[in-house]
Amino acid sequence: MKRLHSIMLAGTGSDVGKSVLAAALCRILVQDGYQPAPFKAQNMALNSYATPEGLEIGRAQAVQAEAAGIPCHTDMNPLLLKPQSDHTSQVVLNGRPIGNRDAYDYFRKEGREELRREVCAAFDRLSQRYHPIVMEGAGSISELNLRDSDLVNMPMARHADADVILVGDIDRGGVFASVYGSIALQTPEDRKRIKGIIINKFRGDLRLFDEGRKMLEDLCGVPVLGVVPYYKDIHIEEEDSVDLAMKSKTAEQGCVNVAVVLLRHLSNFTDFNVLERDSRVHLFYTNNTDDLLKSDIIILPGSKSTLSDLCELRRNGVAQAIVRAHREGATVMGICGGYQMMGMEVCDPLHIEGNMERLPGLGLLPVTTTITAEKTTRQVTFNGGMHGYEIHCGETHPCADAPACPWVMLDDGTSDGYQVSSRCMGTYIHGILDNAECIDRLLEPFAEKLKDSNESFDYHAFKEQQYNLLADHVRQHLNMDLLYKILQNHA
């Protein structure tokens, strides 16, 4: 089989669909007999994932690796920025945090060459093991003020000698200007590297864009590889939580209502993807105290800033509502930062998260947490073969007079979490609810409500089906013959 060049999906802007298209191409290439791997030199996201080696990468590259049928690795996302405020981010290099950076300082030229060497080395290692590499750019490729310090878009494409496919989002409007402008603003060298255009998120009759397609090709001198319709019936894990506030936010009659507390710094919201698909429950996101009081189950999710979010929950009355709801019979479960909040107190003596050294927790679990400088990142197996992963700064221990009551036993002989009863528990394990047995255990107190409901949900089989549906959808609307010609010949 002829070796293919690397391909980069670059964007006219953020949120044009690069990540999902990269996952689609990973699955298509596997179906066609290749061994692809995803790569994004620098990612910015709160939703991260732990590799098998216990290192941290962006969730999107983990999803793309899953679509490619390979284990995820830090070489797929060597540089990860995790925003902590509007101006600062934690910098994770090759899977390990190296400190917090002010955005202005980070994007200045000083020190960028060292980071450039690291991301290029990661790509080189990855390209020795897989081909082709399906690369993803970041944001817009035409940010002229960031061109000299850019690590992830055209400079990375030059290093990889990759063919660049420009992705434009027609749903947001202005696609002609954004596509043409993105190409016109490139240097002559980089302009030649852009070999195709994908118009993404089209709504309506595709024939209505036939003339527009030809006009774009004439205007840009670059072929339009395809016009990919907007879809609603394919479900791929998202990296950003921008749509959470748009999802259902109220309880419903006649089913088990599961409320996920909508934290300001909510992270790893993909923990709840399975529950969203489980027909036995109605899951919604809210910080409305009345809706929390109507819920059967309340889940406190992970947070990038546990103390800040805990302070906000106390200020807006949500903390008191959660305690009251539990007193009146609701189940409360905490995951990661949410688990920390459920305890007696959260302490930050080293000021890892900010100026607050201590806050009382919700007092639902007899545990205390100390925020630590060292981050725990690892994949875990528990209860005889279930899977999840941990990403957290902090150690949580039972109070002096509290008995040891872990929620799960890890397969290495250690334990995780704490359980007061079947209606009150916490855990550090992200992805714990991807395991059907854990959802069944969570829903056990509501057996009477569920007696006529369907069986538990097979999330692994569902995800495989969705990757295949996505591949079929994209394959149907891309000129794959031309794409392969480009990747084989630099056509």
Q: Are 239 and 59 in contact (CB under 8 A)?
A: yes
Please compute, for residue 311, the number of CA atoms within 13 A of its CA located in the half-sphere on the CB side.
13
As a dihedral over the C-alpha atoms of residue 102, residue 104, residue 110, residue 112, rounded to 10 degrees, the angle is: 80
Considering only CA atoms, give the Rg of the chain. Answer: 23
d(CA 380, CA 81): 24
Name the residues annotated as catalytic. 336, 430
Angle at 147 between CA 146 and CA 149, to 5 degrees: 70
d(CA 305, CA 98): 17
Structural tokens at position 127: 């390209």
As beta bridge partners, residue 478 has: 226
Cis peptide before 132 (omega within 30 of 0): yes
d(CA 169, CA 200): 5
- The pair phi, psi for residue 254, each rounded to 5°, is 85, 10
- Reference 335, options 255, 244, 267; nearest CA is 267
